[in-house]
Amino acid sequence: MDRLEDALSEHQTEYQKMVAGEFYSPNDPELRQEHIRCHKLLERFNSSTIDEMDARVDILRELFAEVGDNPLVLPRLMCDYGSNVRVGDNFFANFDLVLLDCAPITIGDNVMFGPAVQLLTPMHPVDDVELRNSGVEWAEPITVEDNVWLAGGVIVCPGVTIGEGSVIGAGAVVTRDVPARVFAAGNPCRVIRELQPGDDPQRRSRP
């Protein structure tokens, strides 16, 4: 069976290997062309002005695989391909968002990102120096479920899912899944407490 799988793998494109989580070469000509297409769109997006908000949305719809209603993404935006990114309704991202989408990145509805958030799907060999130096890598998908808030400077590592309604504190490095409806923070990120509706300090101070 292993020989059959190896034979089938040989006939896969590098893009197919990439999105399947297998070793692939980022220097593949097809991937290079996708990378160029992405960065031409990013150049247009990042050079747009504040009075070109509709144009920004049009570029996002051309860049990403799927974009819901009412997106608001502020430049500067960077990603590898864009075509592996899906975002839901009412997505907000502050300045300097990085989406390394070598594997699928899925972002739900009503998700908010602070400045300098990074979602990083690629992985490189750690133990095998020769393999690492060959340039091959693999990638693992990232999922951010509905109603999540990632504060400024959060880094989400490959293979992570952040559960519905959770909040990740500023500067956290998220190396493993986060359950729904919790506040988590730190490096590495860990759950601090469960979230309780109506427990925000600003809400408590109002009459």
pLDDT tens sequence across 33-69: 999 999 999 999 999 999 999 999 999 999 999 999 9
Residue numbers annotated as active site: 124
Which comes out higher in pLDDT, residue 181 or 204? 181
What phi, psi does 24 have (nearest 5°)? -150, 165
Query: Residue 8's pLDDT band (boundaries 50, 70, 90)?
Result: very low
User: Across the chain, how many H-helices and E-strands are there?
Assistant: 6, 19
Query: What pLDDT score does 10 carry?
Result: 59
Question: What residues have CB less than 8 Å from 207, skipping those under 6 apart?
Answer: none
Rounded CA-CA distance 61/53 in Å is 13
pLDDT tens-digit profile of 82-135? 999 999 999 999 999 999 999 999 999 999 999 999 999 999 888 888 888 888
pLDDT tens-digit profile of 10-19? 568 999 999 8
Read off the pTM.
Answer: 0.90
Domains of the chain plus CATH, in order, are 10-193 (2.160.10.10)
pLDDT tens-digit profile of 147-172? 999 999 999 999 999 999 999 999 99
